[in-house]
Structure 1
Amino acid sequence: MNVVFKMALHTEILMLCLHVFTTRGVHIMNTVSTPNSGQGISSRRTHDIMKYSTDINKYNLDLGGMTSLMYEVKACKDAFVLLSNSDVKNSSKPLYEIQFGNSFNKKSRILYRINDSLDVGSRYMQYINSLNILNCNMYLPFWISWAGGKISYGTGLVVDENMLDSWISTNQFAVKGIEVYTSFSETGDWKIHIEVSDKFAGRFDSCSMVNHMADMVVVDDIQCPSHIECATRCGLFKICMGYNFNSALNRCEVLAFGAEIVTDIPHHIEAGWTFYSKCYNGNTACLGCYF
């Protein structure tokens, strides 16, 4: 997975006023390719399993409030999703694991393990028959839910529809990290949908987009004498993901994503304008800086 993190905040504006209206959340698409982790690598057999898995959170978003995951995967067999109590790849923490394409693409599995001892009493496994659930040449959609300690999964991109199996954990834990991997001689390509949380940090980053305008849906176009007023205006709307500002024209465009699943923030060169992106999870996840 090729990731470029822009940690430096080139232009940072502290928002002075914040009031959030409730609207539908924004989902971003994260593409991941997983290599063959090795013969026999799985949470059932491997102590340090997270050494072989790939973190899906390349945007450094806060995953703490998530209770479900939607994704598409292209693999011949043995595609794994890890739901871990650790956000720093600590394999000794409790985890759930969903495996599609077990036993040469004949079964699927829920695994729970309390630690990395691999003792029989430290883990639980539950299988179902699911012949040809994966496809070598085609992306297929799945969902996983862990709301209220009930671990369930199914096909499609609508949570709780087309359920294949479920299991209720009596020792539920908070899922802080989500990782994927493929093993047993297989590779995989993934399209993972991540919901952006409401934890706006109150800051914006220019993402070095001086003399650039973002081409998103304009939800408000106002005369605005300062960055602060424009930032405050954007903060009034949960759907606002940033704004275009022109100090010479005293003009502010409040912007929102037009699509439910976001894969890009298109922009073009425009003298005098600067695009600013909302930042989440402190000030380390400024979405406009990663597309």
Structure 2
Amino acid sequence: MIMLNMVFKTGQMFKILLLCFLTFKAVEGVQITTNVSTKVDAAVHLIHTADIMNYTTDVNKYNLDLSGITSLVFKIKSCSDAHVLLSSSGVRNSSEPLYEIYIGYHNNESYITYCEDNPPAYGSNNSIVFSTENILNCTVYLPFWVSWSDKDIKLGTGKFVGDNVLGNLTITHNFEVKSIGVFTDHLRLGNWIIQLEVSDKFAGYFDSCIMNNTKSDMVVVDDINCSKMSCGASCGMSKTCMGYNFNSAINRCELLWFVSDVVTDIPHHTEAGWRFYSKCFNRKSACLGCYF
């Protein structure tokens, strides 16, 4: 793992800035997917289950920095009773303030609940229920989204946040979501495909993920001759670049981007002399190339 910490001459800096300007393209945010299966053999609900986060599956297996995100897009295949828990606690502490989005209670109704503490004291929770008959399907993945900005927690259907709102709960106090968990109860099997946004808070680190003699097959946005440090600096200064291939024998640098803005894989192949380096986020703990 390497850290960028260097001083450039004026000409070198100008060349790197020009390179970044030429290769930069507008990026709304990279989304990576995580697949989980859930099944709880009991009836679990925020307002009467004190340790509810213990029943959830943490969707953040990539250890991304979730602070600042205000929405979640996912698909689910389940007959009924799907829950999304949004916690103010980074360690999934059930006693801290929570939002619960309960989709398809017996496949007839859905709830959005805000709870200041758990188990809730009198008056410390707020909830809304709305009719959503046959909202889930036992055999087909259906798309949903939830959002929690501007003191408004919303549930909707489709791939785009803001479309087809099913219901919303307006609250007096909102909080920053730091962890997210999902589950299905009442013995219902749930299969989830969840998209998480990659923060643009590049930590300044690259990790080779022990990928000696390995070349990534991501999109090459630029191909240059330079040192490894210059290659890393060029990638680090561009939001477009998510990693690079480098060949030290010929000082060849390939700056890389994903095929699309939704990432399910980082393809690579064996090639002598090359090494793939992945950008790291959330300090050194979320180096995306090492997870695929």
User: TM-score, normalised to structure 1's length?
Assistant: 0.92
Q: Deviations over 1:241-262 (max 9, x none)?
A: 1000001111000000011210
Of 70-79 and 21-30, more deviation after overlay is shown by 21-30
Q: What amino acid is aligned across from residue 251 of structure 1 in structure 2?
A: R
Q: Deviations over 1:51-73 (max 9, x none)?
A: 11011100000000100110001
Tell me by how many angstroms 1:16 deviates: 4.1
Instruction: Give the 3-state SS of the residue equivalent to 1:118 in structure 2.
Output: coil
- Match in the other structure for 1:149: 151
Unaligned runs of 5+ in 1: 1-10
Q: Deviations over 1:213-259 (max 9, x none)?
A: 000000010001x2111001111210211000001111000000011
- Match in the other structure for 1:274: 275
- Percent of aligned pairs sharing the same letter: 53
Distance 1:253 1:134 in 2: 45
Matches within 5 A, 1:201-212: 201-212=203-214
- Match in the other structure for 2:181: 179
Tell me by how many angstroms 1:46 deviates: 0.4
- Match in the other structure for 1:285: 286
| Candidates 153, 166, 169, aligned match of 2:168 | 166
Q: Runs in 1 of length 4+ with deviation above 6 angstroms?
A: 17-21
Q: Deviations over 1:85-124 (max 9, x none)?
A: 011010000000001111x100011011110123342212
Unaligned runs of 5+ in 2: 8-15
- Match in the other structure for 1:5: none
| Candidates 52, 56, 59, aligned match of 2:59 | 56
Q: What amino acid is aligned across from residue 122 of structure 1 in structure 2?
A: S
Tell me by how many angstroms 1:288 deviates: 0.2
Distance 2:218 2:3 in 1: 21
- Match in the other structure for 1:86: 89
Instruction: Give the 3-state SS of the residue equivalent to 1:51 in structure 2.
Output: helix
- Match in the other structure for 1:76: 79
Of 281-290 and 40-49, more deviation after overlay is shown by 40-49
Kept in 2: contact 1:13–1:205 (CA 8 A) = no
Q: How many residues align?
A: 278
Report the aligned-residue RMSD: 1.5
